[in-house]
């Protein structure tokens, strides 16, 4: 793949929250690095969508639409037909999946992965939770931790999609007004609640476990929690390791920043729109191990920020 011209990046699912963020951030790299083309993940006719300050039309994804593409980004849930189309395209160009559905090889731009020189195939830009947890796990291992490393991952409804964010807002309004609460997307009340997803969340847990183990090289014990929040992922990690050694090792991990005071303590709210993930409370658990707590924005530090950073060495 040559970097002598802007790379044609086909974005499948450009109307989703993830697709819009990726489209706008790649568009900001022009004319040197990337030129996004916008597509729907379904066979619908072209739909007019807001794109920054412009109104642009997305087109249905098709084999013809991918003919000029150098790389494809999947940002929406994929049906069987679209999955088959992208798997076929992966025989001649890189397909980077932000949905987790294609189970591709995880790419971590903070550890050197780049679009230039990437062979054809299916890859994943992992979830923010996976990238953050893998950083904690690698640091614990490098500090001498003994397995297993235990993770509690807190994810917002934005990881489910736009409609889930909208319904959570509607649930909050209904809760405050003592009216009937909509549940058609989320399935139950999530606002002002914390859930461990159970059977419905096992596929998500499996994705996170797969990505974390691929990124860190370590097996982990993992529990996913879904609180009634809109944005921002957080991870609590427990390892049998000295906290000072873990903290020193975390300082060497790219993309992490430490909160030095209680007032600066990191949280999903403090992480929103931040380019670095926040780390705080690397402390002994008084039982032979330590706990660490970290949070990151689901888009800017997560799968979208990682996907954009894959272009970082491309110049004019």
Mean pLDDT by 10 residues, the chain (316 residues): 72 88 83 79 65 71 88 89 92 94 92 90 95 96 94 92 90 94 91 82 88 94 91 95 95 88 80 88 92 93 91 58
CA–CA separation, 202 vs 289, rounded Å?
28
CA–CA separation, 197 vs 171, rounded Å?
18
CA–CA separation, 79 vs 87, rounded Å?
12
Give this prediction's pTM. 0.88
Architecture of domain 129-298 in this structure: 2-Layer Sandwich (3.30)
CA–centroid distance for 109 within its chain = 12
Contact between residue 101 and residue 77 where contact means Cβ atoms under 8 Å apart:
yes
Q: What SS3 string covers the chain?
A: CCCCCCEEEEEECCCCHHHHHHHHHHHCCCCCCEEEEEEECCCCCCEEEEECCEEEEEEECCCHHHCCCCEEEECCCCCHHHHHHHHHHCCCCEEEECCCCCCCEECCHHHCCCCCCCCCEEEECCCHHHHHHHHHHHHHHHCCCEEEEEEEEECCHHHCCHHHHHHHHHHHHHHHHCCCCCCCCCCCCCCCCEECCHHHHHHHHHHHHHHHHHHHCCCEEEEEEEECCCCCEEEEEEEECCHHHHHHHHCCCCCEEECCCHHHCCCHHHHCCCCCEEEEEEEECCCCCEEEEEEECHHHHHHHHHHHHCCCCCCC
pLDDT at 149: 95
199 Cβ contact list (under 8 Å, min separation 6): none
Sign, Cα dihedral of 62, 40, 81, 87: positive
Integer-rounded Cα radius of gyration of the chain: 20
Contact between residue 282 and residue 239 where contact means Cβ atoms under 8 Å apart:
no
CA–CA separation, 244 vs 250, rounded Å?
10
Q: In what order do the strands lie in the sheet with 121-124?
A: 47-51, 54-60, 34-40, 7-12, 71-74, 94-97, 121-124, 105-106
Q: Which residue has the tokens 């807002």?
A: 169
CATH topology of domain 7-102: Rossmann fold (3.40.50)
pLDDT at 50: 59
Q: Nearest to residue 254, comparing CAs of 211, 314, 208, 309?
A: 309
Domain with CATH 3.30.360.10 in the chain: 129-298
Kindly state the greatest CA–CA separation across the chain.
61
pLDDT at 315: 41
Q: Nearest to residue 52, comparing CAs of 33, 78, 30?
A: 30
CA–CA separation, 205 vs 199, rounded Å?
10
pLDDT at 311: 87
Contact between residue 175 and residue 191 where contact means Cβ atoms under 8 Å apart:
yes
Domain with CATH 3.40.50.720 in the chain: 7-102
């Amino acid at each position: 793949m040559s970097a002598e011209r802007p790379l044609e990046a086909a974005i499948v699912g450009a109307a989703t929250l993830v697709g819009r963020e990726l489209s706008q951030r790649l568009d900001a790299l022009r004319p040197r690095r990337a030129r996004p083309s916008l597509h729907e993940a379904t066979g619908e006719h072209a739909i007019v969508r807001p794109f920054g300050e412009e109104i642009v039309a997305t087109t249905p994804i098709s084999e013809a639409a991918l003919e000029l593409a150098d790389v494809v980004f999947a940002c929406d849930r994929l049906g069987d037909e679209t999955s088959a189309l992208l798997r076929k395209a992966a025989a001649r160009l890189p397909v980077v999946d932000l949905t987790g559905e294609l189970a591709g090889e995880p790419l971590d731009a903070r550890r050197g992965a780049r679009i230039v020189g990437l062979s054809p195939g299916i890859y994943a830009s992992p979830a923010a939770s996976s990238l953050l947890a893998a950083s904690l796990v690698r640091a614990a291992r490098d500090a001498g931790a003994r397995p297993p490393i235990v993770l509690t991952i807190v994810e917002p409804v934005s990881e489910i999609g736009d409609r889930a964010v909208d319904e959570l807002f509607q649930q909050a309004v209904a809760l405050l007004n003592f009216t009937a609460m909509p549940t058609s997307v989320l399935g139950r009340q999530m606002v002002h609640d914390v859930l461990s997803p159970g059977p419905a969340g096992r596929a998500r847990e499996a994705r996170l476990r797969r990505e974390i183990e691929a990124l860190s090289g370590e097996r982990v014990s993992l529990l996913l929690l879904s609180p009634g929040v809109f944005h921002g992922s957080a991870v609590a990690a427990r390892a049998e390791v000295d906290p000072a050694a873990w903290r020193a090792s975390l300082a060497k991990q790219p993309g992490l920043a430490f909160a030095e005071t209680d007032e600066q303590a990191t949280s999903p709210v403090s992480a929103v729109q931040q380019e670095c993930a926040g780390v705080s409370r690397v402390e002994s658990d008084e039982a032979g191990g330590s706990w660490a707590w970290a949070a990151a924005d689901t888009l800017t530090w997560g799968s979208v920020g990682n996907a954009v950073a894959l272009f970082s060495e491309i110049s004019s």
